[in-house]
Amino acid sequence: MLEEIIVVNRLVLLGLTVAISVALLIAIRQAKKGKKFFIRRIAGLEAIDEAVGRATEMGRPVHFSPGIASLSEETAAQTLAGLAVLGYVARLTAKYDTELIVTNRMPEVLPITEEVVRQNYLSQGKSENYNPDNIVFLSDEQFAYAAGCMGIMSREKVAANIMMGAFWAESLIFAEGGFAAGSIQVAGTANTHQLPFFIAACDYCLIGEELFAAGAYLSQDPMQVAGIKVQDLGKIVAVLLIIIGTVTTTCNWPVICEFLARFAS
Amino acid sequence: MRREVPIAVTFVAGILFLLDYFIKIPYVSENVVGQFLDWAIIIAAFALILGAANLLRIHIQKIIKGKKEWWNSVILLVAMFVMAIIPIIWTQQNAVYTFLFKHIFENLNGTMFALLAFYIASAAYRAFRIRTKEAAVLLVSAVVVMLGATPIGAKIWSGFPEYSSWLQTIFTTAGMRGIMIGASLGATVTALRIIFGIDKSYFGGQ
């Protein structure tokens, strides 16, 4: 009866999710009490200020893409992490009176990007500079969107190209389009197969977990920073599991592997 | 209320989907979660109308104001309406729609994809310039992997395919797995931050 209700091969994942949730709540409680958590410097995020500054000096626009993932699939977290960076970029462009162009592939992301940019312009007291025509939906077709982005980068001669979110085959098209337009490029994704393209073609790149840490890093909100500490804790657990797995497999002791095969397949 | 309601909806939907992944409660899984999924599809469909409205507004303004290269906006709007209206009236099996799809859309799509070949070459050229020790390691690894993957590599030295495979299975896989573990933890914590209402950056706040 119980096996019909509980998905047995996801039991380990359930345990880990509960453990991470509890750790997150404890870390948040500590942050509320005033505990300060340290985050290492992330060069890619520091470079955003430099990129927007460069665009301001050159009098040219900044282009931002939140990736091509929707909000209803497993890569949605990357889009949401990208939106946190968009908020920071919008605050900077509002502050320095620099033009910001945001291109969207997924129609459901469009109203969110509009709201994020509008709210951040409002927070800087620059609502009159917010231009809704610069938050554009291009196409929900992957390569049509890529072609549209390239066209905008080339025509508007964007000075900074910031790409944060989930990208697939179009990643290199964007990066090379930005390079051809002469822009400084900051990219971030957790899609491992696209990372080499961004690393090769962009000036700065956020790798995997750095993208998810971006929102907390840029906002410096203690409660969000506490979340990054939980990520670190999770990594320690992962390292321990790797060591245990390596030792038990080397010693030909299959108990752990059999346990994981049954409850974490 | 403008913030509290979306946070409450996010919390309820997030917890429901999270629990449904691990625990299948008969009525809830089939009806409630299924209902939420249907709503998501309907919202996404309406969002497409928003996207089309955004395109229309921007490009009609461009045409009316006679902005630079306004004729591109005319082409875009005509293409958009033709490709939208034909299948609505005469279905997607219509000869005109099939012709436009096969002979224009597919070719344009293929052209964009094909551009990647040239972009890979130009990005590789920039990445492989030996400026740092890391770039030198990258260049050597790339040469070994590329030669290992081509017949000429095996002709030059029989060790290339073996070392190419060794680099990919040991170093690349280990690196990829490390990044994936970090990214998975990051995604999990980001999702929990949003479900618990700690991260509200998607509203536009900090």
For B7-28, the pLDDT digits (tens) are 999 999 999 999 999 999 888 8
CB A94 within 8 A of CB A118: no
Q: Which two tokens stand for residue A243?
A: 């060591």
Q: Is A6 on the interface with B (CB under 8 A)?
A: yes
- What was the pLDDT predicted at A188? 97
The answer to whether residues B4 and B79 belong to one domain is yes
| Predicted interface score ipTM higher than 0.90 | yes
**Structural domain for B108, as ranges:** 91-117
Minimum-distance CB partner of A20 among B126, B188, B198: B188
CA distance A180 to A173: 10
The answer to whether residues B78 and B100 belong to one domain is no
In a domain, B204, yes or no: no
The answer to whether residues B113 and B155 belong to one domain is no
Contacts of A231 in chain B (CB under 8 A): 182, 185-186, 189
Q: Is A7 on the interface with B (CB under 8 A)?
A: yes
The answer to whether residues B86 and B97 belong to one domain is no
Positive/negative CA dihedral, A27, A29, A35, A37: positive
Domain coordinates of chain A in residue numbers? 43-219
CA distance A242 to A258: 15
- What was the pLDDT predicted at B203? 76
- What was the pLDDT predicted at B200? 86
Given an 8 Å threshold on Cβ–Cβ distance, is A84 in contact with B204? no
Q: Say what the pTM is.
A: 0.94
Q: Region B58-74: what's the mean pLDDT?
A: 94
Q: What is the mean pLDDT of chain B?
A: 92
The answer to whether residues B82 and B9 belong to one domain is yes
- The candidate with the shortest Cα–Cα distance to B187, out of A14, A6, A17, A45, is A17
CA distance A166 to chain B (A): 12
In a domain, B122, yes or no: no
**Could you confirm whether domain A43-219 is CATH 1.20.1250?**
no
The answer to whether residues B38 and B56 belong to one domain is yes
Across-strand partners of A61?
none
Chain B residues 70-109 with a CB less than 8 Å from chain A? 108-109
In a domain, B202, yes or no: no
Question: Which carries the bigger pLDDT value, residue A99 or residue B206?
Answer: A99
CB pairs under 8 A between A and B: 202
In a domain, B42, yes or no: yes
Question: Which carries the bigger pLDDT value, residue A162 or residue B29?
Answer: A162
Domain total for chain B? 3
- The candidate with the shortest Cα–Cα distance to B87, out of B73, B103, B69, B99, is B99
In a domain, B206, yes or no: no
- What was the pLDDT predicted at A1? 66
Given an 8 Å threshold on Cβ–Cβ distance, is B123 in contact with A172? yes
- Furthest-apart CA atoms within chain B: distance in Å: 71
The answer to whether residues B47 and B14 belong to one domain is yes
Question: Which carries the bigger pLDDT value, residue A23 or residue B135?
Answer: A23
Minimum-distance CB partner of A209 among B18, B48, B186: B186
Given an 8 Å threshold on Cβ–Cβ distance, is B192 in contact with A192? no
The answer to whether residues B43 and B100 belong to one domain is no
Given an 8 Å threshold on Cβ–Cβ distance, is A190 in contact with B112? no
Q: Which two tokens stand for residue B24?
A: 């299948």
- Whether the pLDDT of residue B73 is over 90: the answer is yes
The answer to whether residues B8 and B86 belong to one domain is yes
CA distance B89 to chain A (A): 22
In a domain, B173, yes or no: yes
Kindly report, residue by residue over B97-122, the tens digit of the pLDDT.
Answer: 999 999 999 999 999 999 999 999 99
Segments of chain A scoring below 50 in pLDDT: none
The answer to whether residues B182 and B112 belong to one domain is no
- What was the pLDDT predicted at B182? 95
Q: In angstroms, how far is CA A179 from the centroid of its own chain?
A: 21
